[in-house]
Chains A and B, each alone.
Chain A
Amino acid sequence: MNHAGRLTSTAAALVLLVAMAPVARADNTQGITASSIKIGNLGPFSGESAVFNPLNYGPEAYLRYINDQGGINGRKFETIFADDACNEAKGIAAAKKLIYEDKVFMIIGHPCSGVAMAIKPMVDKEGVPWVGLSANPKITNPVTPSMFHVGYTGIASGEAMAGFALSNPGVKKIALVQHSNDWAHGYCEPATAIIKKNGGEVVVDAALERGSTDATAQALQVKASGAQAVMGCLYQPELVVLLRDLHKFGVNVPVLGALGADFEQTVAQVNDADAVKQIFFQPYQFKSPLGQGSLKQFHDMFLKYLTKDELPKSGEPTNFYYFGVPAAIVTVEAIKRAGPDLTREKWIAAMESLNKWDTGVFADTETITHDNHDGVHLMYAVGVSAEGKETVYKSWGKPAE
């Protein structure tokens, strides 16, 4: 009994010791040395959502480009990738490794919304800068000091989708077709709010799950309802299926896709001009068509700095690369503005100083303040004109430039 007693009391003492000990906080120049800045790049590199990792490779290409130019203030970027497989438990492990073991300066990423919500308390508590691209606006609303959205959230996109549909005179009845997941709801819920606010009516709310091979029931519901436009909050394969089946049953109303699909690939995979001409539109985040105009330099950047495995099989960067790259562009700009004595606080202040700043990629300029960490809001729409040409529109029937 004595021996066990001593063992137990030693154990109890240890427990008390550890339990009382305050956790060492990461300091605010963590990840910064005289010659390098460590960036954690968090995202789904395995599993079902691996198809979205171009969102992670886009910004990485830009960081490699900056390194090629000599870095910022003598510091080059060192990226540490971490896989979350779009799973909360794994995502927390990945984030903890980045923050506590690799000791990164900040996290870029687009953790899936579930992961972002799961790591948010820790990121907030540790004050780690976070620039992300997940759809769920709850991550930056209400504002947490160190987390920023520099891409279009689901709110902005959903509003753009609904706004564009409603800009077509006479359109009041709208149908929703969406996945039963948080990503899709992140687009279709704000869209619904805008529709109702403008006196419109949601006449159908149909679910079309991932992996569906056809959308007959959904298309017929749309047809039966007399809807004048459709919000398709779907990933690319299902969007293709929906467009095909709507056309099959003679439902030729405008269909607004969400940002989970690449516009050009979708049009190509539907493979039927009549199914998309003046029918398929997507909110358009960019200033120019992909790879052209001001986006051409990024097209070349992706091809130059990304490896074969980091690019799609076709070799042509899809829209997710462009969607992701501003995370790095804005981060680098804030690092520039923060000056050579870089700290987290200075970086955050620099981010909040951005006012109508042009990333060169997005249609809208970035405006970030202390109370608003969602940088961009306004979007255009892209569609296929009556002549079959990819065209960017300001609103229904009004092409941009």
Chain B
Amino acid sequence: MRVGRRPYWLIPLLLLPVPLFLDQYQQYVANLILVYVPVAVGFNVVVGNLGLLAFSNVAFFGIGAYTAGILMLKLGLPWWVTVLPAGIMGGIAGATAAVPALRGVRLFYLAIMTLAFGELMRWVYIRWEPVTGGSFGMSVPEPSVLGWALDVEARKFYAFLVLVVLMIVLTDRLLRSRFGRAFVAIKGNEEAAAAMGIPTDRYILLGFAWGGFVVGIGGSMYAALVGHLSPSSFDLTELILQFAIIIVGGLGSLVGSVLGAALLTAAPEFFRDLPGFEELLFAVLIIVVILFLPRGLASLLGRVHPVFNDRYFRE
């Protein structure tokens, strides 16, 4: 399955000098990639590892972002203090979204229901004007960490990097533990798993809650990076983007989450000269990947070196 502890320490270290080589625009794009990594990681836990068709990821993302934003704007808290609450709110949202799954709702029914959850959240952002700023959205104050203002993109990069590494390490630990093995069993054959005595309900709840937590952290990073939250940022188009990230990257794979986030955030920037074609190119990319590379980019890299084969199950 994997090679050793080394990969984790090397990569973030290799990334440290990155801001020296990037201009403000490129650095922003790199930061945006970092924001989407936990979004993808959390999404992948539920959809890729647990194997449940949950379309609620944007709800967790939005709740995390708005939690951070509201705490910063209304309570004057510095950004770094709001990160954990954002994750916790995301986790609670995840647990809520798990309810239909716990009642046995599966497949397309679960998909539609969780999609409805996401859209209802967007309705709440719009209607709950005194708290969320309504349809005008809210502009959040400048983020800071322990007094160190994150006023340039490079500083945000380092702050985000810490969070991203943390989320990846923790998720990896989770997936390698007995919880992760239970996920594999549930994804493979839920009834058999239950018959074997695995308390599937508990693990499903855990998977959703963890996924929501990680995505919520990503949401707090989004608030720090973009600075202005509006309900329209958390709509179905955003959901499609997040789906594309994990499908293109590789379902159930941490490497895939990173690759997908990187590719789908950076690629549109290269296609800036062809506006209007974006929707079409995007759709074609998804179609091509599903048809010809169903295990995502991570599987491609996996052929190069086994360290990239971190899918925690066989298929």
Residues of chain A whose beta carbon lies under 8 Å from any beta carbon of chain B: 4, 7-8, 11, 14-15, 17-19, 21, 23, 45-48, 50, 81-83, 85-90, 92-94, 96-97, 99-101, 113-114, 117-118, 121, 136, 138, 180-182, 184-186
- Could you tell me the distance between the alpha carbons of A101 and B135 in the complex, rounded to whole angstroms? 32
Q: Given contacts A23-B24, A46-B276, is CB(A14)–CB(B16) below 8 Å?
A: yes
Q: Does B154 contact A (CB under 8 A)?
A: yes
Chain B residues near A8 (CB-CB < 8 A): 13
Q: Is the CB of A93 within 8 A of B28?
A: yes
> Are B269 and A93 in contact, with the CB atoms below 8 A?
yes
Query: Does B227 have its Cβ within 8 Å of any Cβ on chain A?
Result: yes
Report yes or no: B152 in contact with A23, Cβ–Cβ below 8 A.
Answer: yes
**What residues on A are CB-neighbors of B28 within 8 Å?**
92-93, 96
Whether a CB of chain A sits under 8 angstroms from the CB of B137 is yes
The listed residue (B20, B127, B226) touching A89 by CB distance below 8 A is: B226
Minimum CB–CB distance for A215 against chain B, Å: 19
Interface window among B74-82, B230-238, B249-257: B230-238
With A23-B24, A83-B275 as contacts: A15 and B152 at CB distance below 8 Å: no
Cβ contact within 8 Å between A86 and B232: yes
B276 touching A88, Cβ below 8 Å: no
Chain A contacts for B29, CB-based, 8 A: 93
Majority SS at the chain A contact face: helix
A23 to B152, alpha carbons, bound, how many Å? 7
B230 touches A88 (CB 8 A): yes
Q: Are B228 and A83 in contact (CB under 8 A)?
A: no
Q: Once the chains bind, are B13 and A11 in contact (CB under 8 Å)?
A: yes
Q: Are A185 and B135 in contact (CB under 8 A)?
A: yes
Is A18 touching B19 in the complex (CB atoms < 8 A)? yes
Report the bound CA distance from A45 to B25 in whole Å.
20
Whether the Cβ atoms of B228 and A118 lie closer than 8 Å is yes
Report whether A88 and B233 are in contact in the complex, using a CB–CB cutoff of 8 Å.
Answer: yes
Q: A88-B226, A89-B233 are in contact. Are A45 and B275 (CB under 8 A)?
A: yes
Asked whether B17 lies within 8 Å of A46 as measured between CB atoms, the reply is no
For the complex, is B222 an interface residue (Cβ under 8 Å from A)? yes
A47 with B13: in contact, given A23-B24, A93-B25 (CB under 8 Å)?
no
- The reply to whether B139 and A117 contact each other, CB–CB distance below 8 Å, is yes
Within 8 A of A (CB), among B204-225: 222, 225
- Chain A minimum-CB-distance residue to B273: A81
Q: Judging by beta carbons under 8 Å apart, are B233 and A7 in contact?
A: no
Can you list 20 pairs linking A and B with CB atoms under 8 Å apart? Answer: A11-B17, A14-B20, A18-B17, A45-B275, A46-B276, A47-B237, A87-B233, A93-B25, A93-B29, A94-B272, A97-B272, A101-B26, A113-B136, A114-B137, A114-B233, A117-B228, A118-B227, A136-B136, A184-B135, A185-B136
Contact A14 B278 (CB under 8 A): no
Tell me, yes or no, whether B292 is within 8 Å of chain A by CB: no
Which 9 A-B residue pairings sit nearest by Cβ, starting from the closest?
Answer: A45-B275, A118-B228, A96-B25, A83-B275, A100-B24, A114-B230, A182-B135, A182-B136, A97-B25
Q: Which single residue of chain B is at the shortest CB-CB distance from A183?
A: B135
Residues of B within 8 Å of A185, CB to CB, are 134-136
Q: How far is the CA of A11 from the CA of B9 in the complex (A)?
A: 12
Q: Would B23 and A180 count as touching, CB distance under 8 A? A: no
Measured between C-beta atoms, what is the minimum distance from A84 to chain B in Å? 10
Q: Does B113 contact A (CB under 8 A)?
A: no
For the complex, is B155 an interface residue (Cβ under 8 Å from A)?
Answer: yes
A47-B278, A117-B136 given; 12 more Cβ-contact pairs under 8 Å? A15-B16, A88-B226, A88-B228, A88-B230, A93-B29, A97-B25, A97-B272, A100-B23, A118-B226, A118-B228, A180-B127, A181-B126
**B302 sits at the interface (CB 8 A):** no
Determine if B232 and A181 form an interchain contact, defined as CB atoms under 8 angstroms apart: yes
- Measured between beta carbons, the chain B residues less than 8 angstroms from A181 are 126, 135, 231-232
**B window 125-140: CB within 8 A of A:** 126-127, 134-137, 139
